Structure 1
Amino acid sequence: MSGKQQRILIFGAGVIGSAYAIKFMEAGTDVTLFARSGRFRTLQEKGLQYNDKGTVKSLKVKVIDTLENDDVYDFIFVTVRYDQAGSALPALKDNQSKTIVTMTNNSIGFSAWQDIVGNRLLPAFPGAGGQIKKEVLYARFPPKFLVATVFGEVNGVVTERVENLTKLFRTAELPCSIHKDMKAYLITHSVSDIALVGSLHAGHKIIDEKTARTRKTAHQITVTLKTYLKKIQKAGVAINPSVFKFVLLCPNLILDLFFMIWLRTNMVKDMLLPAYANNANKEIVQLNKDLSKFLSQNGVT
């Protein structure tokens, strides 16, 4: 990566896109956000508002709602939910930017995405979370030892663009790691989300906080997670990160206790808020549907 200022587009101005936009802008990167409708107008009029240790601040940000084919960026980050990726990527099909980083879940592999954007695809998974309340971003970047942004080529080769992306993240002081089997990583992570986030819904309705904290809900997570991990193993997917291998060896009682503790965290409390929960459920439904398709294609029912 040369000394010139990197130019990036973040396609999606929700929690993930906004959180990374702030970090990259603070590091001096030339950032443009792609947003639509109300979010586009808010960013234009008020800037990117965010909570900084209890104080609401605002950053002036370049924002667009239309992308021209010759508007070229060093990297385009797609930060939409998995259920939205199929409709977002066609908007980038004819753009001439050479690298499109999909920062989202994936439970079936990359063929469908590559059919749209070709070998420009660089799969990734974000190391950030949070929520937007009344147009203000409340970002959450967990400690590096817990989670980092993960990315890598579909074929596992460490290319020049992967190395350049690593430098971009390090300049912004964002923890990151290169992974050589992103398909396995994302399928394993999808299984985790299906078990964890899916447990917070019953009959497509959000469960209440009291129900979420019960042993029954924790045990549901344990059973679902173990069941799907075994299934993807049978389908030939390497469980990754390797910590999930421990899940298969761990007694149900210990896992139940662990998940009971997790279900009492502020993270889960935020996840039960209607705006978050309804959108998350849409993603989980699509992940589950596609995972079932993937398993079936590999002879696993």
Structure 2
Amino acid sequence: MSTKQDRILIFGAGVIGSMYAIKLIEAGFDVTLFARSNKYKSLRENGLRYKGKSTVRSIQVNVIDTLENDDIYDFIFVTVRYDRSESALLALKDNQSKNVVTMTSNSMGFSSWLDIVGDRLLPAFPGFGGQIKDGVLHARFLPEIIAATAFGEINGVVTERIENLAKIFKTAKLPYVIKKDMQSYLITHSVSDIAMLSVLQSENKIMDKKTARTRRTARKITVTLKAYLRAIQKAGVSIDPPMLKMVLNFPNLILDLFFMTWLRTNMVRDMMLPDYANNANNEIVLLSNDLMKFLNQNDIKSEMIY
């Protein structure tokens, strides 16, 4: 790590923010976590609690619930859901920090975010997930080949701040990948989330486990995913990761079998828990609505999806 200690603010104390906080603190960075209300109080009193192997551990973290405009950080990581991203950026609008890293989905591009924080914006996407149960973080890591933190400039140029961010991730031993087209990457990821997660809820009701595991549910995901991928491709989006482009050529039967297996995993079981599902549904609804706006702006008619 460089002689100058990077100062990092993590705006959002949910699963993603907590995971980055743990990894960066352990790597020796100067980390502050922004939280509000009960979460702020809990972090102040108990530290950041997480499940480490078979035991619950705690790590102390500097936590704030108010951010002054002249409280300057090298990087601010915005780790909130998509449906809360705009309000989070508005809270950072007048802060003088130069780099705002949005660690969240995006289904229509960056114009509204740029209107708020300008060229300080650095889009990214986290490389892990999990849950917080009874105040304890339970992280879920996927193999690096499947999931790594992705980030990049909107114009695809590898700038000095991109290189500095890469050094931070390397020091913290966090897998990362630098992307040349973050908009395409985030829209593709949004499409996969919309296709896979929207089926777990219908008319604001969580699907029961028995129905979720049926071939019919798997086929609905298959058909929806293919339709959305074709639509964004027609709108000029480069499908990324490339393996999702291969999905378009897979027989429906193969995809059905894959999704039937996925729908039986513990991860999907957790997604169907009321607290998780209700929060995720708000995000998926907004991602879906904004994706339709993006497609309409590119003259892709909704009939193509359905």
Shorter-chain TM-score: which interval? Answer: over 0.9
Which ranges in structure 1 are unaligned for 5 or more consecutive residues?
A: none
C-alpha distance in structure 1 between counterparts of 2:112 and 2:244, whole Å: 27
Deviation at 1:54, TM superposition (A): 1.8
C-alpha distance in structure 2 between counterparts of 1:168 and 1:3, whole Å: 13
2:229 aligned residue: 229
Deviation at 1:260, TM superposition (A): 0.5
Deviation at 1:202, TM superposition (A): 1.1
C-alpha distance in structure 1 between counterparts of 2:298 and 2:144, whole Å: 35
1:165 aligned residue: 165
2:304 aligned residue: none
Cα deviations by residue, 1:177-208 (Å, 9 ceiling, x for unpaired)? 00000000000000000001111111121111
For residues 152-231 of structure 1, the aligned pairs below 5 Å read 152-231=152-231
Deviation at 1:31, TM superposition (A): 0.6
For residues 95-106 of structure 1, the aligned pairs below 5 Å read 95-106=95-106
1:151 aligned residue: 151
Q: State the secondary structure of the residue aligned to 1:249.
A: coil
For residues 259-274 of structure 1, the aligned pairs below 5 Å read 259-274=259-274
Cα deviations by residue, 1:80-133 (Å, 9 ceiling, x for unpaired)? 000000111011011010000000000000000000000000000000100000
Q: State the secondary structure of the residue aligned to 1:197.
A: helix
Tell which deviates more after alignment, 67-76 or 196-205.
Answer: 196-205
Moved over 2 A (4+): none
Q: State the secondary structure of the residue aligned to 2:248.
A: helix
One-letter amino acid matched to 1:285: V
Deviation at 1:146, TM superposition (A): 1.5
1:23 aligned residue: 23
One-letter amino acid matched to 1:76: I
2:115 aligned residue: 115
C-alpha distance in structure 1 between counterparts of 2:8 and 2:210, whole Å: 43
C-alpha distance in structure 2 between counterparts of 1:20 and 1:255, whole Å: 33
One-letter amino acid matched to 1:228: Y
Deviation at 1:2, TM superposition (A): 3.8
C-alpha distance in structure 1 between counterparts of 2:54 and 2:195, whole Å: 33
C-alpha distance in structure 2 between counterparts of 1:244 and 1:3, whole Å: 41
C-alpha distance in structure 2 between counterparts of 1:204 and 1:245, whole Å: 31
Deviation at 1:3, TM superposition (A): 2.2
C-alpha distance in structure 1 between counterparts of 2:32 and 2:182, whole Å: 26
C-alpha distance in structure 2 between counterparts of 1:135 and 1:286, whole Å: 27
TM-score by length of 1: 0.99
Q: State the secondary structure of the residue aligned to 1:118.
A: helix
In the alignment, does 2:135 pair up with 1:131? Answer: no
Cα deviations by residue, 1:41-98 (Å, 9 ceiling, x for unpaired)? 1001111000001201111110001100000001000000000001110110110100
Cα deviations by residue, 1:156-188 (Å, 9 ceiling, x for unpaired)? 000010011011001111000000000000000
C-alpha distance in structure 2 between counterparts of 1:195 and 1:76, whole Å: 30
In the alignment, does 2:40 pair up with 1:36? Answer: no
For residues 39-118 of structure 1, the aligned pairs below 5 Å read 39-118=39-118
- How many pairs were matched up? 301
What RMSD, in angstroms, separates the aligned Cα atoms of the two structures? 0.8
C-alpha distance in structure 1 between counterparts of 2:283 and 2:150, whole Å: 20
TM-score by length of 2: 0.97
C-alpha distance in structure 2 between counterparts of 1:97 and 1:219, whole Å: 47
C-alpha distance in structure 2 between counterparts of 1:227 and 1:66, whole Å: 44
Q: State the secondary structure of the residue aligned to 2:147.
A: coil
One-letter amino acid matched to 1:255: L
C-alpha distance in structure 2 between counterparts of 1:290 and 1:93, whole Å: 22
Tell me the percent identity: 70
2:3 aligned residue: 3
One-letter amino acid matched to 1:249: N
One-letter amino acid matched to 1:77: F
C-alpha distance in structure 2 between counterparts of 1:185 and 1:124, whole Å: 9
One-letter amino acid matched to 1:129: G
